[in-house]
Structures are given as structure tokens and as C-alpha cells.
Structure 1
Amino acid sequence: MRKFDKDRLILGLAGPVVALVVAIALTTVVLLVSGTNPIEPYRIMFEQVSYTDVQVLIVNQAGIYYLAALAVAIGFRMNLFNIGVDGQYRLAAMLSALVGASIELPGPLHILLIMLVAMLVGAFWAGIAGILKTTRGVSEVVSTIMLNAIATALVAYLILPKNFGVQPEGSNNLTTGEIAESGWFPGLSMGEGAGEIYGFTFVAVALGVLYWFVLNRTRFGFDLRATGASESAAQASGVDAKKMILTSMLISGAVAGLAGMPTLLGETHTYSLDFPAGVGFTGITIALLGRNSPIGIAFSALLIAFLDKSSASLDQHGYEKEIATIMQGLIVISVVVSYELVRRYGLRRQQQKVGEELAAGGAIKTDKEVAA
């Protein structure tokens, strides 16, 4: 049975806790410097959580963020920085919406087809970066950034009315056409006026459980973590590092493709110009804050979703809702700094423990020698 490591648990919690405390402290300083009440905005934001409709909005947004963060975390586990989740997510949502609106099937089959298209498109787009890295040594950071820009231009081109787009009468918006009701994912109603929780949010939870199981209870997960820790060591033990890199990018892209499904299948039922963007970049923040752990990512997703949705009413009380954006940015900076400090402290603590164990072992040997 694995021995409980108290120090490891404390160090694991220290990073995100320190990051949050520092982010709140710095945000408070910013509010003070700008001449704003440093306490009132927090009170207003926490007050919003008491409303059921805001709770539903937070949970729904957290589900979207959770999927995007899982996609990022899969790459992180392989020591890959998939910055292209946002492009993979939007291109997958757009093309799966096109397919979903062009056909009509029995409910479950229609939904499964839309999900399959989203996963294949996301995997294909991430796979380009994976192939470039394994065959030409191109950094995934550079290639995924470029692929984000290409995806943005491609979506803008495909949604034009002369191609596949539809312009509703009396509107300047462009859409892919509405998906038939058979392709809508049923949600959980929270009462009149409160809205409903996206049904796909529960799929996100299931994927989190699957992520944990594969990563910690399968050979593939072990190979993935081993390759991420040391590519040369993994190759020496018989793991095909290049194959693992490509496979990880494909899986990361497939999960990124699903990040658009809660909104597409649970609310809009079409892809349009005002479809949410920037989800992939927020996923990077959440994966970092959650330390790539499925539970940590869940709490981080809820935190960022809380900041997003509870800050919407700040401007009604005379405060800028950008306060939440400032806090999110400070969280990113604080995460990087605090994790590095915690890592260094952990190394020193580990070295200290090894030294103590060696010293204790030497003392025991000396006692035995004296007894002899």
C-alpha cells in the first residue's frame, strides 16, 4: 500500500493557495490605487452566487472551461504546450454545426455524429502540429499559434453567405443554420427563470474521470507521463516517444473539439459570429492553476467561471467588471511564480529529508559496530 506523503499533499496545495492569495492581494492594491473601494466589489460578486440563475451560468461555464483545460492538461502531461486549443475548439464547433444543421437523424445518432465530427476536426487540427513536431522538429508552441490564426481566417471564410453561412433576415450576424431538435443535448432544468444546466456538463465530468483513470491506471497513461518526464529515458525503456507525442496531440485536439459542444448542443444550436472565443486560452490558465489534476482543474474552472459570471453585475453598481479580468491575469502570473517557489522549496525539503535519513542510517550502523 502506498504510504501517505503529507509533505507532497501540502506542497500540492501550497501552489494554488499562494497564487490565489497573491492575486487577491494585488487586485486589492490595484483597486486602492485607482481610488475604488477594495472590499465592495468582492461583496457584490459573492452576493451574486446566492441567485440560482447565476449558479447555473457558473456551472455551465465551468463545464466548458473544464473541457478546454483537460485538452491543455493532456499536452502538459506530455511536456507539450498546446496553445492551439482555441483554434481547434472554434473550427470544430463551426464544422460540426454545419454538419449537424445539414442532416437530421434520430436523436442519439444525430448528437453522436455532431460530437464525432467535432472530435475528428479538433484532432486533425492538433495533429498537424504533432506531425510537424515529430517529423521536422517544429515547436508545438509556434505551430499551434499559427494554426490558431489560420483557423480564425478559415472559419471567417467558410461562414460567408457565398460559402456555407446563413444571414438571418434583419440581422448582421452570420450563422451555419440551426441544428434540428434531434441534435439538441437535453439539459437539467433548475426551475422557472433559473435556466438549465447543460447536459454536456455531465459528459465533461465523465471525461474528467476517464482522464484520471487512463493517466493513472493504464500502461498508456504511464508511458505518457514517462515520456513527458524524460523523452530519452522513455525511449530507453522501449517507448516510442514520437508516437506518444503525436498520439497526445491527437487526443488533446479531440477533447478541445468537444469544448464547444455544451454551448452548441445546449444553447445556441448554431455557430455564429458571436460564438464564444478565447475559451482555449482560459483553459491554459485553469490547467496551470489546477496542476493538471482532474479535481484541481474542476475547482479552478469553477473559480474562473465564478469570476466571469459574478462580475457581470459590477457595472450596475458603479464598478468596472474588468476587475475580474485583472484578477484572472494576476492569477496567471501568480501561478507561475508561486509554483516555481514551491518547486524549489520542495527540492530543498527533499534533499533535507534524504540527508536526515542518511544521517540516521549512519548512526544505526555505528551503534551496531559498537555492540559488536
Structure 2
Amino acid sequence: MKKFDKDKLILGLAAPALAIVAALAITSAIIGATGKDPFHAYQVMIDFGSKADSQVWIINQATPYYLSALAVAVGFRMNLFNIGVDGQYRIAAFFAAVVGAKLTMPGFITIPLIIIVAMLVGAVWAGIAGLLKTTRGVSEVISTIMLNSIGASLIGYFLQDGRLAKKEGNLIHTPYLPDSAHFFEFATQTKPVYGFVLIAVLVGVAYWFLLGRTRFGFDLRTVGQSESAAQASGVSVKRMVITSMLISGAMAGLVGMPTLLGVSYNYGTDFPVGIGFTGIAIALLGRNHPIGMALGALLWGFLDRTGTQLEFEGYAQEVVGVIQGVIILCVVIAYELVRRYGLKTQQRKVGEELAAQARKSDKAEVSA
């Protein structure tokens, strides 16, 4: 039976507690410096965020945030910085919308095909960066950022009236998906909850199992900690890089699906952008853990929702952005401080144990 480690539990709770206290203190000081009451701001956010329609909105908003964070976290676990999730999900959603609009099959065939197309396109787009890294040594940060720009240009070229899109009022969008491609929803007393939240949960479970309970996940984490050690144990680093980017891109392909299959039913100039960059922040906030990222996605949705209400109360619209930035900084700093403290404590314990063993050895020699 595994021994309960009280010190490890305390350190694990100390980091988020320290981050929360620090974030509240800094945010309160910033809001107070603007001449506003920070405690009233928090009360407004809690009251508005606890309403039934707000809770539904937060869950719906958190769903693509969570999928984006998972896509980013796959790379983070082996020190790959996939900055291109934003471009990957957008180009995946675009081509999935184009293909889906031409399908005339039943929903149980149409919906999986659209999702598969999105995942394949996302995987291919991310795989380009992995291939460039392993064959030419190009940093994935540089290549994914450039691929974001290329993807946006590619979409802009095809998303024109007469090409793969049509104009409707002031918007240009791809043809509408057939009714059979509409994803199911959970009815509530206010607004419906995206049915795609179930897919997000399943992807989170798959992420946890793949990275925490399989040989592939062990190899991936090993490469992230030490490439030389991974190579010495027989792991192909290049293959792991490409595979990880393909998986990350496939997950990124799912980010736009809640909107495409549950809201817009097409890809247009009003399609959500920037979710990929939000996923980076949430992956950092959740420490690449599936539950931590889920909580981070809900927190981000809560801040997005309640931030609009703060504006009506006379607070600056930048307040929410400041809060989000402060939270990320506090989490990163708090976990680093706790990690260093834990490392020093462990080193001290090892030193004390070695010293105790040395004293026992000296006593044994004297007795002999």
C-alpha cells in the first residue's frame, strides 16, 4: 500500500492557495488604483455569474476553451510549444464546413465525417511544423506562428463569394450545413447547453489515459524531461515529435466544432478567433492536468461572462484582461516558488538521512 505523503499534499494545496491570494491582492490594488471598489466588483461578478443563463453561457464558452487547452497541453508535456492551435482549428473548421455542406447523408454518418475531416486537417496542419522541426531543425514556435498566418491567408482566399463561400448581407460564409449535421443539445430553463460538452469530457479522459497510463505517454514525458535519456532508452525522439504534433493538431481540429455544429452551421467572417491563444493560458493555468484545465476553462468563461456586467457598473472594460493576466502570472510564480521550496525540503531531508546513517556507521565502528 502506498504511503500517504502529507508534505506532498500540503505543497500541492499551497501553490493554488498562494496564487489565489496573490491574484486577489494584486487585482484589488489595481482596481482600487482606478478609484473603484474592488469588493463591489467581485460581488457583481459573483451575483451575475451565478445566474442560470450565465452558468449555461459559461459552460458553452468553456467547451472550446478546454479543447484548445488540451491541444496545447499535449505539446507542453514534451516541451513542444504549439503556438499554432489558433490557425489549426480555424483551417480545420473551414474545410470541415465546406465538406459538410456537400453531404446529404443521415446525421449519424454526416456528423462523424465532419469531425473526422476537421481532425485530419488539424493534424496535417500541425504535422507540417513537426516535420520541419525533425528534418530541418526549425523551431515549432516559428513554424506554427507562420502557419497561422498562412492558414488565415488560405481561408481568406477561398472564403469569397463565388469560390467556396457566398455573401449574405454583410457576412461571407460557406454554405450552410444540412439539418442532419446539427449536433444535439441539452435543454435547460434558459438556453441550451452544447451537446459537444460530452465530446470535450471524453477527449479529456482520453488525454489523461493516453499520457498517464500508456507507454506512449511515458515516452512522451521522458522526451520532454530529457531527450538524451529518452534516446538511450530506445525512444525515437523525431517520431515522438511528429506524433505529438499530429495528436495536438487533431485535438485542435475539434476546437471549432461546438460552434460549427451547434451555433453557426457554417464558417464565415464572424467565426470565433483567438481561442487557440486562450488555450495556451488555460493550459498554463491548469498545469497541463485535465481537471486543472477544465477548472481553468470554466474560470475563463466566468470572467468573460461577468466582465460585460462590470462595464455596466462603470468599471473599465480592460479590468477582466488585467485579472486574467494577473491570475496566469500568479499561478506560474506560485508553482515555481512551491516547487523550489519542495526541492530544498527534499534535499534537506536527504542530507539529514545521510548524516544519520553516517552517525550510525561511526557508532558501529566504535563499538567494534
Determine if contact 1:72/1:287 at 8 Å carries over to the other structure: yes
For structure 2, list consecutive stretches of 5 or more residues without a partner in the other structure: none
What corresponds to 1:355 in structure 2? 351
Alignment of 1:122-133 (within 5 A): 122-133=122-133
Give the alignment partner of residue 230 of structure 2, picking from 228, 234, 237: 234
What is the CA distance between 1:265 and its match in structure 2?
A: 1.0
Letter of the 2:149 counterpart: A
What corresponds to 1:270 in structure 2? 266
Q: Deviations over 1:91-125 (max 9, x none)?
A: 11111111111222111111101100110111011
Give the alignment partner of residue 177 of structure 1, picking from 175, 178, 190: 175
The separation in 1 between residues aligned to 2:220 and 2:15, in whole angstroms, is: 24
What corresponds to 1:47 in structure 2? 47
What corresponds to 2:97 in structure 1? 97
What corresponds to 2:187 in structure 1? 189
Determine if contact 2:89/2:122 at 8 Å carries over to the other structure: yes
Alignment of 1:1-372 (within 5 A): 1-168=1-168, 171-191=169-189, 194-369=190-365, 372=368
What is the CA distance between 1:367 and its match in structure 2?
A: 4.6
The separation in 2 between residues aligned to 1:83 and 1:147, in whole angstroms, is: 10
Q: Percent identity?
A: 57
- With the length of structure 1 as denominator, give the TM-score of the two structures: 0.95
Determine if contact 1:313/1:321 at 8 Å carries over to the other structure: no
The separation in 1 between residues aligned to 2:272 and 2:340, in whole angstroms, is: 38
Distance 1:32 1:354, change over 3 A: same
Q: Deviations over 1:196-245 (max 9, x none)?
A: 11111111111111111111111111111111111110000000010000
What is the CA distance between 1:14 and its match in structure 2?
A: 3.3
Letter of the 2:173 counterpart: T
Q: Which moved more, 1:22-31 or 1:107-116?
A: 22-31
What is the CA distance between 1:142 and its match in structure 2?
A: 0.9
Query: Which SS does the other structure have where 1:177 is aligned?
Result: coil
Query: Which SS does the other structure have where 1:174 is aligned?
Result: strand
Q: How many aligned positions are there?
A: 368
Q: Deviations over 1:128-155 (max 9, x none)?
A: 1100100011111111111111112222
What is the CA distance between 1:337 and its match in structure 2?
A: 2.5
For structure 1, list consecutive stretches of 5 or more residues without a partner in the other structure: none
Determine if contact 1:226/1:234 at 8 Å carries over to the other structure: yes
Determine if contact 1:175/1:273 at 8 Å carries over to the other structure: yes
- With the length of structure 2 as denominator, give the TM-score of the two structures: 0.96
Distance 1:354 1:95, change over 3 A: same
The separation in 2 between residues aligned to 1:262 and 1:364, in whole angstroms, is: 65
The separation in 1 between residues aligned to 2:16 and 2:92, in whole angstroms, is: 31
Q: Deviations over 1:311-341 (max 9, x none)?
A: 2222222223331111111222223322332
Determine if contact 1:16/1:290 at 8 Å carries over to the other structure: no
Q: Which moved more, 1:138-147 or 1:340-349?
A: 340-349
What is the CA distance between 1:368 and its match in structure 2?
A: 4.2
Query: Which SS does the other structure have where 2:166 is aligned?
Result: coil
